[in-house]
Amino acid sequence: MTLGYHVIAEYERCDREKIDNEIYVEKHMKKAAELAGATIVKTVFHKFAPQGVSGVVVIQESHFAIHTWPEHDYAAIDMFTCTDKMDFKKALEYLKEAFECEILSHKMLKRGVDVSKKIKHV
């Protein structure tokens, strides 16, 4: 049994100004969630000084989260959902274009696999 799907994405060689702009990042993270088929509940984004943006798009199905390092032209994005109906590929490619990133790599983890087995704490 799988309770959720967690995509971990690495975006490299991104446009520094775009990934350091809180309003721009929020707008495109919301659009990516919509393109994936998610239902947006709420967003929270924060601009750091001197640089960087962190934020989360809370979705009915779970969340899309981002943290950027403009000084390294890099963004880390997590997409988690409790449904297998989400179209992560659309969201991943959209963000690559929106942030003008040259390199995108990602992996998907199945979450809650074998959740019925008890974990022994030591």
Report the predicted TM-score, pTM, of the whole model to 2 decimal places.
Answer: 0.89
Instruction: Mark whether 82 is an active-site residue.
Output: yes
Q: Which of 54, 63, 72, 82 is catalytic?
A: 82
List the catalytic residue out of 67, 101, 106, 116. Answer: 67
Which one of the listed residues 62, 63, 101, 121 is annotated catalytic? 62
The per-residue pLDDT for range 49-87, each reduced to its tens digit, is 999 999 999 999 999 999 999 999 999 999 999 888 889
Indicate if 101 belongs to the active site: no
Q: How far apart are CA 6 and CA 109, in angstroms?
A: 5
Question: What SS3 class is residue 18?
Answer: helix
pLDDT above 60 for 119:
no
Q: Which domains are assigned to the chain?
A: 4-111 (3.60.90.10)
Q: How far apart are CA 55 and CA 119, in angstroms?
A: 32
Q: Could you confirm whether 67 is annotated as catalytic?
A: yes
Q: Which of 19, 1, 8 is nearest to 101 (CA)?
A: 19
Q: What is the DSSP string of 26-58?
A: HHHHHHHHHHHT--EEEEEEEE-SSS-EEEEEE
Q: Is the peptide bond before 50 cis (omega within 30 degrees of 0)?
A: yes
